[in-house]
Amino acid sequence: MSETVTRRSTCYECDANCPFDVTINAEGKATAVSGPDCPRGAAQLEREYHPDRLLYPMKRVGPPGSDEFQRISWDEALATIAHRLSAVKAEHGAEQAGFFAGYTKEGRPQLQRLAHYFGSPNYLTEAGCCFSATMVAEKLTLGYKLKSASLNASTATRCLLFWSTNPPGSVMPFEEHPLLHPEQERTTIVVDPRRTETAERADLHLQPRPGTDGALALAFHHEIFANGWADEAFLAEWGSGVEEFRAYVADFTPEWAADVCGVPADDIRRAARLYATSGPAQIALSPTATVQHSNGFQNHRAIVLLPAVTGNLDIEGGNRFFLDKVRPKSIDGFRERIGDLPPRLGDEDFPVWTRYWPAGQSMPLPDAILEGEPQPIRALFAIGINAAMWPNTARMYQALEALDFFACVDFFLTETAKRADIVLPAATSLEREALVAYPGCQFRGEVRYRDAVLAPRGEARADAQISLDIAVALGMDEDFWHGDLAAAWAEAAEGLEPEIRRQAYEDPDGATVFADALDEEGFEGQRLYEVRGFPTATGRIEFDSRELRDAGHDGLPIWREPAESPVSTPERAAEFPLVLTSGGRSKYYTHSQQQRFPSTRAADPVPRATMHPETAAEYGLAHGDRVRVASPRGAVVFHAEVADTVAPGVVHCVHGWAEAEINRLTDDAHPDPISGFPPFKSGLCRVEPA
């Protein structure tokens, strides 16, 4: 290159894949990026040129957890990985090798293909604790996934009920999010244990004890039926188990729920009335906050039945369904291979979840490694893995150290990577090409081909390329495009209509693939269910779910206390009297990422444990103090943030901090019985000055 150029890329500091223009100087070095206003996107070059980036394959020569690593060649790294995986396969069976991807989504199709062609069903991801449970609960109950509110900010909405999401922390464009700035007058209600920026702006904020959403939602239903606000004609035609549900909620008065949730009964009454009578009403949901509880799946079902009962389902301004209009051709090997493979991790205990979700459940991994239960895992190949994603993190570290063989790919030598036998250097999104079309939490409805705009630093390689390289080292060239990554993506792109494919490759803005599908199909004005019905077990909305009953669960969205709570474990609460919730997002960080970057660190410098002034006073803590937060699993030191944004008796900790791993405190013994999700957001703790 002889002069400065500007090239279009997409950012992968989170999985929203926003377009960014990158200025590249004559030496081929990126000097600036410009794109949407996001502190993580703006910090991309701090990742790119970080002095600690992994640049070469390394093998560990010290004990697990040490940073004694030695540089090796790619040939040696790939040959070792292929050899060690083959040894596990020959001795114990291919299923005892796990293949894992954390939050990162881009390289997944090739990784999953590698797992299944190798012969292992055990392709595992972060979906074991993220998003999938809301999707499964919605599909099982309504037959469809609800369209996420960030894709559906309709001007027709008259009442917006935020049930556990705070766009200023988690959804672009944060404080400017259209959901927070309606063009028309409307009523806003927020259900969140924290008084967030979103709650500050709302007409009404219900602040429940974490994990009590089910009780609150059932009290809404009680009010709706008791006051004749239900859409009875719709329920008679399309509901299954409505009478059982009506009878079940008859006892759940606002007074009862006030007691369980800690929300004034009059506020519950007012919120239920506003939601049911000032429609069109839409619920804006989090992908995960309602389901990261021991009772989360049924709680979420109770919430998503609200639009069904009130006639707010699939109407303009209400909750619409999500339809994938165009998907690339699947190259992940799942459909053609999974039928011939042994059971996936999770099939044993969470069969409803695995029926809907095309991967294994990653949460039982520590048991699988340490106990051989419900099935043994002896080797692990992972892209972007952090032990701190698992509840009771100390046990996951122990499990990683107990593996026969562990290799991982990352940008940095993290605490988790230090447990690996081999660590491989990941290329950044600026250095890797990809067909970007795999939806994340805030997927923007686009598909585009992203070129690599920079040469990789050192010997870094794209995750997807590494999966192909391992497959080739295992002798599977034929099934893996002979290691040619562009060819792999091209095959995926074959699934797109020619015009979409052309735009994806040629148009810098890519192609838009999600639209109002019905309108495009010529069903203007109609509702999806009028055309396609409700594709559930009964063909109706499942108030009382036959599928759950058949699997041995409650058919109704039964309310249960969180497994660890002041009510269900009073003896434990004597020692750990506070309710612990975690993981409210900060726009400066994606989980554990960006903490090494000077700009994000300056803006949001320390891991915070937020508590009410009364709680702080009771335990002798002041704002800014170092605070030891302890649970039955362990203790971690945070910085006390004293603020009345949480209720007295509740502590909120941020998640993902390497220096304060909140999941050392969370409970791995009481996952949700249907989804396997851990109770990240409702447990017990105590606090004391550190």
Ligand X SMILES: Nc1nc2c(c(=O)[nH]1)N[C@H]1C(S)=C(S)[C@@H](COP(=O)(O)OP(=O)(O)OC[C@H]3O[C@@H](n4cnc5c(=O)[nH]c(N)nc54)[C@H](O)[C@@H]3O)O[C@H]1N2
Binding region for ligand X (CB under 6 A): 12, 14, 102-104, 126, 129-131, 163-166, 169-170, 191-194, 196, 210-211, 213, 286-290, 383-384, 386, 389, 409-412, 414, 426, 441, 463, 581-587, 589-593, 655-656, 662-663, 666, 680-682
Tokens 């954390």: give the residue.
102
Of 410 and 421, the one with the shorter C-beta distance to ligand X is: 410
In the numeric block, which tokens belong to residue 268?
A: 């519950």
The residue (of 389 and 504) whose beta carbon lies closer to ligand X is: 389
Residue 9, binding choice from Mo ion, ligand X, none, Cβ under 5 to 8 Å by partner class: none
Distances in whole angstroms, Cα of residue 111 to Cα of each of 122, 326, 333, 422: 11, 22, 10, 17
Site for Mo ion in 324-363 (CB under 5 A): none
Shortest-Cβ-distance residue relative to Mo ion:
130
d(CA 51, CA 53): 6
Contact 366, 402 (CB under 8 A): no
* 130 forms part of the interface with Mo ion (CB under 5 A): yes
User: Which among 410, 474, 411, 325 has a CA at the least distance from the CA of 100?
Assistant: 410
Alpha-helical runs (H) found in 278-410: 296-309, 334-337, 351-356, 365-370, 393-402
Among ligand X, Mo ion, none, the one that 590 touches (CB under a kind-dependent 5 to 8 A) is ligand X
Q: Shortest approach of ligand X to residue 211 CB, angstroms? A: 5
* Residue with smaller CB distance to ligand X, 326 or 580: 580
Rounded Cα gap, residues 120 and 20, in angstroms: 37
String marking each residue 76-115 x if it binds Mo ion according to CB under 5 A:
----------------------------------------
Interaction partner, residue 169 (ligand X, Mo ion, none; CB < 5-8 Å by kind) = ligand X
Nearer to ligand X, 211 or 607 (CB): 211
607 binds, among Mo ion, ligand X, none (CB under 5 to 8 A by kind): none
Strand pairing partners for 436? 448
Are the C-beta atoms of 308 and 541 separated by less than 8 Å?
yes
Of 337 and 681, the one with the shorter C-beta distance to ligand X is: 681
Rg over CA atoms, the chain: 25
State the Cα–Cα distance between residues 454 and 427, nearest whole angstrom: 10
Q: Tell me the residue number closest to ligand X, measured at CB.
A: 583
Is residue 383 within a helix (H) or strand (E), and if so which, with residue range? strand 379-383
Of residues 130 and 230, the one with the C-beta less far from Mo ion: 130
Q: Which is nearer to ligand X, 536 or 581 (CB)?
A: 581
CB of 410 to Mo ion, least distance (A): 18
CB of 292 to ligand X, least distance (A): 6
- Stretch near Mo ion under the rule CB under 5 A, chosen from 122-130, 146-154, 466-474, 528-536: 122-130
Q: Which does 196 bind (CB under 5 to 8 A by kind): Mo ion, ligand X, none?
A: ligand X
Is 112 or 164 the residue whose CB approaches ligand X more closely? 164
Count of residues engaged in binding Mo ion, rule: CB under 5 A: 1
288 or 312, CB closer to ligand X?
Answer: 288
Residue pair 209/193 in contact by the 8 Å Cβ criterion: yes
CB of 293 to ligand X, least distance (A): 6
Residue 211 contacts which entry, ligand X, Mo ion, none (Cβ below 5-8 A, type-dependent): ligand X
Considering only 129-137, 181-189, 404-412, 628-636, which stretch makes contact with Mo ion by CB under 5 A? 129-137
Closest C-alpha among 319, 196, 217 to residue 268: 217
Non-local (6+) Cβ contacts of 176 within 8 A are 37
Instruction: Return contacts of 313-316, CB within 8 angstroms, 24+ apart.
Output: 313/142, 313/529, 314/527, 314/528, 314/529, 315/280, 315/527, 316/154, 316/156, 316/280
- Minimum CB separation from ligand X for residue 102, in Å? 3
Residue carrying structure tokens 């081909």: 449
List the single partner that 592 binds among ligand X, Mo ion, none, CB under 5 to 8 Å by kind: ligand X
Nearer to Mo ion, 170 or 610 (CB): 170
Nearer to ligand X, 270 or 532 (CB): 270
d(CA 23, CA 453): 10
Closest separation in Å from C-beta 682 to Mo ion: 17
Q: Min. distance of Cβ 655 from ligand X in angstroms?
A: 4
What's the min distance (Å) between Cβ of 665 and ligand X?
8
User: Terminus-to-terminus CA distance in the chain, angstroms?
Assistant: 55
**Closest residue by Cα to residue 325 from 488, 551, 511:** 511
What are the Cα distances from residue 434, in Å, to 23, 375, 429, 457, 459? 20, 34, 9, 18, 18
Q: How far is the CB of 178 from ligand X (least distance, A)?
A: 15
Pairing outcome for strands 650-653 and 608-611: antiparallel
Other C-beta atoms closer than 10 Å to the C-beta of 176 total 11
Binding site for Mo ion (CB under 5 A): 130
